[in-house]
């Protein structure tokens, strides 16, 4: 019984009969005393009937949660249980905009090439980008080829340290250290994923903060998460997603955006960058219950799960904007490299529902490389005093 109840009893006793007031108050106080958890516990201790309290184990590892890998179940091949876009309410008369990443990337590269020429004429130097490639994954080799080609097109010097998949972690660290100390190198990236026997975080953290053009250094990610801080570099893929949306005239503020995947390469930095644009962000991962229902409520869907055809037409609401970051290699004997790339989104279904969508290839990929070149240019401009943060 609270203070208000005591006041009511006191007022009642004054009006009717002052004599029982002390009696009533004593009953209230005794009732409160009997209901006290501390008093009850003391009585249980006296009687020996109290159960020992289970103490929760303390420790930051428990507070941070279990470290489970995001292992996605592949969608059924036939997707027989997935409603067709017509069943999902698709409008076959609407026109879907195919967001041309190649064209957007070309414009960015032209601007970078002009700035590189100006830098060379002013300071006599050009930006330098170093790549560390470990192993012989075909997709990683393909990405590195495109990055090297991009450097050549804009006049950025490129260096490559290619190591076998069975090399030691120390050999990779030595390559990173060598590039850290090279003044002609302004950007360093380690192509992911690395072989399983290597500590990815340790290697990425060894990259000089001032040369972390991939934006994976803990300080860059931390500063991205704090709206009052400014990271030196932001993840190239995250920047590419936002650039594609802005260049396509798509409003971000106040929109509900679902990011599928939470990797440090795409999902995490993209969700953080979106919050800086004042969107409402939902993050879907391998343990999310009913991801289809969540995604279907979104104005914008950005998928970076790495699972071919994960997102079906039924996952999208009419008029949603779709950014497909997935680049999943599929065996294809007719291709020059023996495989072709597919996205996370079933393009044939999504194009019938979405208002705008990026293709794979030709969407996010080219712009991601353009953002890498832009980050490398910015790094060199800082070194030569041509930029102020």
Residues designated catalytic:
147, 191, 214
Place of tokens 């409008």: 91
The vertex-96 CA angle with 329 and 80, nearest 5°, equals 55
Distance of CA 140 to the CA centre of its chain: 20
| Rounded distance between C-alpha atoms, residue 15 and residue 8, angstroms | 11
Report in angstroms the alpha-carbon separations of 51 from 1, 33, 42, 47, 101.
Answer: 27, 21, 12, 11, 65
Comparing CA positions, the residue from 186, 213, 298 lying closest to residue 250 is: 298
Orientation angle between helical segments 138-154 and 364-383, nearest 10 degrees: 50
| Rounded distance between C-alpha atoms, residue 202 and residue 301, angstroms | 32
Place of tokens 């990425």: 204
Number of other residues whose CB lies within 10 A of the CB of residue 300: 23
Four-residue CA torsion sign, 192, 198, 204, 207: negative
């Amino acid at each position: 019984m609270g203070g208000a109840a005591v006041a009511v009893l006191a007022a009642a006793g004054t009006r009717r009969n002052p004599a029982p007031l002390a009696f009533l108050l004593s009953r209230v106080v005794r009732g409160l005393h009997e209901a006290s958890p501390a008093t009850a516990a003391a009585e249980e201790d006296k009687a020996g009937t109290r159960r020992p309290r289970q103490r929760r184990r303390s420790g930051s590892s428990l507070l941070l949660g279990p470290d489970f890998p995001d292992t996605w179940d592949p969608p059924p091949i036939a997707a027989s249980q997935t409603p067709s876009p017509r069943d999902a309410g698709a409008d076959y008369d609407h026109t879907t905009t195919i967001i041309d990443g190649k064209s957007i990337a070309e414009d960015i590269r032209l601007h970078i090439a002009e700035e590189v020429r100006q830098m060379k004429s002013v300071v006599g130097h050009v930006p330098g980008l170093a790549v560390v490639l470990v192993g012989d994954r075909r997709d990683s080799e393909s990405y590195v080829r495109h990055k090297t080609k991009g450097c050549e097109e804009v006049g950025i010097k490129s260096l490559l340290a290619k190591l076998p998949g069975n090399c030691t972690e120390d050999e990779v660290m030595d390559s990173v250290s060598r590039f850290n100390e090279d003044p002609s190198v302004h950007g360093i990236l380690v192509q992911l994923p690395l072989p399983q026997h290597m500590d990815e975080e340790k290697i990425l953290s060894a990259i000089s903060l001032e040369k972390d053009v991939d934006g994976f250094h803990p300080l860059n990610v931390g500063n991205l998460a704090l709206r009052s801080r400014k990271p030196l570099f932001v993840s190239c893929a995250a920047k590419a997603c936002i650039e594609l949306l802005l260049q396509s005239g798509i409003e971000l503020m106040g929109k509900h955006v679902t990011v599928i995947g939470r990797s440090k390469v795409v999902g995490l930095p993209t969700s953080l960058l979106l919050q800086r644009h004042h969107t409402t962000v939902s993050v879907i991962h391998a343990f999310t219950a009913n991801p289809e229902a969540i995604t279907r409520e979104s104005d914008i869907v950005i998928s970076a799960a790495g699972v071919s055809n994960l997102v079906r037409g039924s996952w999208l609401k009419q008029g949603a904007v779709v950014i497909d970051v997935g680049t999943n290699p599929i065996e294809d004997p007719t291709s020059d490299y023996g495989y072709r790339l597919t996205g996370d989104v079933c393009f044939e279904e999504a194009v019938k529902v979405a208002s705008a969508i990026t293709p794979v290839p030709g969407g996010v990929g080219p712009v991601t490389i353009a953002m890498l070149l832009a980050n490398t240019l910015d790094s060199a401009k800082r070194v030569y005093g041509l930029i102020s943060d």
